[in-house]
Amino acid sequence: MDISDEALAAANARGTAKKAAFPPVLSVRYDRRVSRIVIVLASGLELAFSPKAVQGLEHAHPADLADAEISPSGLGIHFPRLDADLYLPALLEGFLGSRLWMASELGKRGGAASSTAKAAAARENGKLGGRPRKAKTLAAA
């Protein structure tokens, strides 16, 4: 596949714009004491988060996170033992995973929430044979 000069110029322009919009990663490490990945950005901002909250790292062992590498652009982090990558702009924009993955994680947490009212409603619905059926409406012709 040949890449045209125009396509190459456009890709370089997009890369330059991303580099201008996001500070590059200066260092990355896994802190075993607090079980957090720590990323230091050129802006001085430090990000620390649990790998369990990140798509692709949620089942990683501490040894798998120890040798993370920064990409040449400074916008990516590679975990060789997991063959997993984090892209800083997506990390900051999607909050540690794709929007679909984050929505599923939030749904799991919300569905697992329990309260006295929720338990009472479940008991009442169970006595009635479960959740009531939705009423069917006839469309006017």
The token pair that represents 1 in the structure block:
């596949």
Amino acid 96: pLDDT? 55
Q: Are 39 and 28 in contact (CB under 8 A)?
A: yes
Q: Report the share of the chain in percent with pLDDT over 70.
A: 80
**In DSSP terms, which residues pair with 86 in a beta bridge?**
77
Q: How many CB atoms lie within 10 A of CB 70?
A: 17
Global confidence as pTM: 0.59
In this predicted structure, what is the pLDDT of residue 125?
A: 76
* Choice between 116 and 30, residue whose per-residue pLDDT is larger: 30
- Give the tens place of pLDDT for each residue, 85-110: 998 888 776 655 566 766 676 666 66
Q: Give CB contacts under 8 A, 24+ apart, made by 14-20.
A: 15/73, 18/73, 18/75, 18/89, 19/73, 19/74, 19/75
Helix (H) or strand (E) segment spanning residue 19: helix 5-21
Q: How far is CA 61 from CA 55, 95, 102, in A?
A: 14, 21, 21
CA 23 from chain centre, in angstroms, equals: 19
Q: Which two tokens stand for residue 5?
A: 């000069």
Amino acid at 53: A
pLDDT for position 97: 58
- Domains of the chain in sequence order: 22-112 (3.30.2020.40)
How many CA atoms does the CB half-sphere of 30 hold within 13 Å?
A: 19
> Which of 12-21, 37-46, 122-131: highest mean pLDDT?
37-46
